[in-house]
Amino acid sequence: MSNDKWNEDDMEKRLRHMPVVEDRRSKEEILQRLKNDARLTELEEPKNIPSKSKWPSIIAAVAAVLLLTILIPTFLQQNNEVSMDKATTSESASTIEMENSEEMQSEDSSDTSVYTKQIAAPLTNAAYPDDLIDHTAFRIGLATDQATIVPVTFLIPNERLPEGLGSSPDAVALYNEYANTIDEVSLGFTEYHPYMATISSVGKQVQMKFSADHSYDRSSATLEMLNLSVQDTFYVFDEIRFLQEDASPVTFDGVGKVEEPLIITGNNSRQAYYRFEKSDGEVLLSTNFGKVYATVEEALNAMKETPNDIYSSVVPDEVNFTVTDEKNKVRVKFNEMLDLDNLPYEEAMQLIEGILLTAASFDKQVEFDQIKQDQWGRFDFTQAIEKPIGANPKFLINE
């Protein structure tokens, strides 16, 4: 620190002894000297750089505003359309479905064959004589994916019947005309018709001449399905004769030569009807693999129980009835007053029509007792109900 202090004192002393510098020139001389200094006069004056025009910036700002004005409403509209898509999808689908249903039922349909379920009409599992006003019934046994046969009654508008069929075509004529037009798969059945045979009739006998490559005798089950199907299809005839193409008796594997005709039970099939649900969820009424009962009382009482895992009872657990056979009709009396409106409509209809179809297979009408409603749907319970003429009606419109 002593050295630093010395240096500071020494420097201070030296600065004090420096000579004083004075400029004795006048102001005028200094100004003149500055004017005459070439270094100052050679300096270039600053260039006048033109300022950039403000118009491009203004135009760009205006363009940006216009662009936002266009894009924002468009974006909002698209966003609104996207948000509305889900809300309108089901409505559009329903509209399309309704339009398709109307087209299917329209007489102006250009399809080769159109089949519709009863959409506008109440759900029903049986066809009645009143349904034959301006319609012809075409009954047929259709196959399901559970190796069962279900009876179906197609109602054909009389005005659509080909002239060659006449006014009252029989079951064979109807089958030969329409069997190959039925789209069984779209109806929820398996492809089975037309039969691999030439079909004709002689009097009250049906003759089926099987093609050499038929497969109906692959097993006892396929033969049983054939028997059940022809029973439902040619119900108005008395018998069916199974033949080869040369008209000789056919030979089935496991059975041998079939020389005796198959008796058709028709309106005396003596069977009980049950609830059957197809794989597509549609519920139909059908017999239990064609099981036959000795009496109508036995058949109606059998309906109260579920026979297997394919068919189920149409009689609710809380409902019971007694059966009395009275010549041409059967009296069904419920143990307690039955209010049909307390049951789901489909279940109530299946109960009533299951009983009617079962009694009809014994060629009998039904008179009900202990039903709260005197009138319900198409039924008048103050009197015997007319016999149904077929099960599971569907409308058939064929161009």
Encode pLDDT of 301-346 as tens digits: 999 999 999 999 999 999 999 999 998 899 999 999 999 999 999 9
Q: 48-52, 103-107, 377-381 — which one is most confidently predicted on average?
A: 377-381
Spatial contact of 97 and 381, defined as CB atoms under 8 Å apart:
no
For residue 343, the model assigns a pLDDT of: 97
Q: Residue 20: its pLDDT value, please?
A: 54
Return the residue matching tokens 């005796």: 260
Structure-model confidence comparison of residues 337 and 1, the more confident one: 337
pLDDT at residue 399, as a whole number:
56
Across the range 368-392, mean pLDDT stands at 97
User: C-alpha dihedral over 153, 155, 158, 164, to 10 degrees?
Assistant: -40
**Looking at residue 23, what is its pLDDT?**
59
Place of tokens 């075409």: 138
Phi and psi angles of residue 151, each rounded to the nearest 5 degrees, phi first: -75, 135
Q: What's the pLDDT score for residue 84?
A: 38
What value does the mean pLDDT take over residues 230-236?
A: 96
Greater pLDDT, 20 or 284:
284
pLDDT at site 78: 46
pLDDT of the residue at 99: 42
Q: How far apart are CA 182 and CA 151, in angstroms?
A: 14
**Total residue length of the chain:** 399
- Say how far apart CA 64 and CA 309 lie, in whole Å: 73
Average pLDDT, the chain: 81
In this model, does residue 113 exceed pLDDT 70?
Answer: no
Which is more confidently placed, 13 or 309?
309
Q: How confident is the model at residue 163 (pLDDT cuts 50, 70, 90)?
A: confident
HEC letters along the chain: CHHHHHHHHHHHHHHHCCCCCCCCCCHHHHHHHHHHCHHHHCCCCCCCCCCCCCHHHHHHHHHHHHHHHHHHHHHHHHHHHHHHHHHHHHHHHHHHHHHHHHHHHCCCCCCCEEEECCCCCCCCCEECHHHHCCEEEEEEEEECCCCCEEEEEEEEEHHHCCHHHCCCCCHHHHHHHHHHHCCCCCCCCCCCCCCCEEEEEECCEEEEEECCCCCCCCCHHHHHHHHHHHHHHCCCCCEEEEECCCCCECEECCCEECCCCEECCHHHCCCCEEEEECCCCCEEEEECCCCCCCCHHHHHHHCCCCCCCCEECCCCCCCCEEEEEECCEEEEEEEEEECHHHCCHHHHHHHHHHHHHHHHCCCCEEEEEEECCCEECCEECCCCECCCCEECEEEEEEC
At residue 71, the pLDDT reads: 53
User: Per-residue confidence at 146, pLDDT binned at 50, 70, 90?
Assistant: very high
pLDDT, residue 253, reads 93
The answer to pTM > 0.85 is no
More confident residue, 136 or 18: 136
Give the pLDDT confidence of 250-307 residue by residue, as tens digits.
999 989 999 999 999 988 999 999 999 999 999 999 999 999 999 999 999 999 999 9
pLDDT at 151: 97
Choose the most confident range, by mean pLDDT, from 84-93, 157-166, 199-208: 199-208
Given its phi and psi angles, is residue 232 left (phi above 0), alpha (psi -120 to 50 degrees) or beta? alpha
> Please, which pLDDT band fits residue 22 given cuts at 50, 70 and 90?
low
Question: Which segment of 155-164, 299-308, 365-374 scores lowest on mean pLDDT?
Answer: 155-164
pLDDT at site 37: 63
* pLDDT tens track for 199-213: 999 999 999 999 999
